[in-house]
Structure 1
């Protein structure tokens, strides 16, 4: 087999892998979920926002970015470790990607050693679903001590 032929076979294999990965990601996004916009903190102005889909499963929510090619979720949120720090409306240049009806929740994931902060922007229905899911977590006092 000649060198150009080997290069062509490798190129076709790489392209087929990329098409398969993108098709899988698109299939995962189309399975349903709640539209959301998320960014990590600290952030400056309206920078860092990523559109995506939040999907709830038991005690975990997963966030899939629309522009990502990862086969797995871009962020996993554990219901036990999330705290709502504050809520606000869009500010300044955030109105370029959000409307007045959007509410931005600042969240803190305390499952890490430090508080990992991020913001999630949701419309009224999505915010109700997210807060209902979050408030349905078991109370830390309700957990049994295993001796």
Structure 2
């Protein structure tokens, strides 16, 4: 005996929608609670994406808020992160940037060794926090640990 098509469709919809909804809630609640809000534009892209950054001891993770992935969209090694000269938004950037926000180019390497470049748009206080985090990289993080003998 076969199941009615409504039951099969219901099960399929539940198997697809529940994980997507859980990922969306995770992004909007958990990630935003312990992160810094930013606008991100990767090199070669025209549009800005709303997102969040989270700092750890060894890396910075970028989360696009419109994404439904559980993990970070981009993760950059702290030792490789370089921030460029800040500038004021111009032209169409004024439509997405809040008053007083700055645009800062960045580059770094992801865990696979690929170079990731782009721009961040964030408030001066948030930029100060990011710069302090980058500059506070400890010597143990810069130099690999030697095995104990």
**Shorter-chain TM band:** 0.7 to 0.9
Q: Distance in 1 between matches of 2:29 and 2:104?
A: 28
Name the SS for the 2:52 alignment partner.
strand
Q: Counterparts in 2 of 1:94-109, with a 5 A limit?
A: 94-109=93-108
TM-score of the pair, normalised by structure 2: 0.80
> Do the aligned partners of residues 69 and 109 (structure 1) sit closer, same or farther apart at CA in structure 2, a change above 3 Å counting?
same
Q: Does 1:126 align with 2:126?
A: yes
> 1:11, CA displacement in angstroms?
2.1
Q: Does 1:2 align with 2:4?
A: yes
For each residue in 1:76-113, what CA deviation from the matched residue of structure 2 results, as whole angstroms up to 9, or x when unmatched?
12110011232211011100011341111111215676
Contact 1:83 1:110 (8 Å CA) reproduced: no
TM-score of the pair, normalised by structure 1: 0.81
Q: CA RMSD in A?
A: 2.6
Q: How many residues are treated as equivalent by the alignment?
A: 143
> Do the aligned partners of residues 10 and 81 (structure 1) sit closer, same or farther apart at CA in structure 2, a change above 3 Å counting?
same
> 1:29, CA displacement in angstroms?
2.4
Give the unaligned 5+ runs of structure 2: none
> Do the aligned partners of residues 117 and 24 (structure 1) sit closer, same or farther apart at CA in structure 2, a change above 3 Å counting?
closer
Give the unaligned 5+ runs of structure 1: none
Q: Does 1:67 align with 2:66?
A: yes
Equivalent position of 1:12 in the other structure:
14
Name the SS for the 2:86 alignment partner.
strand
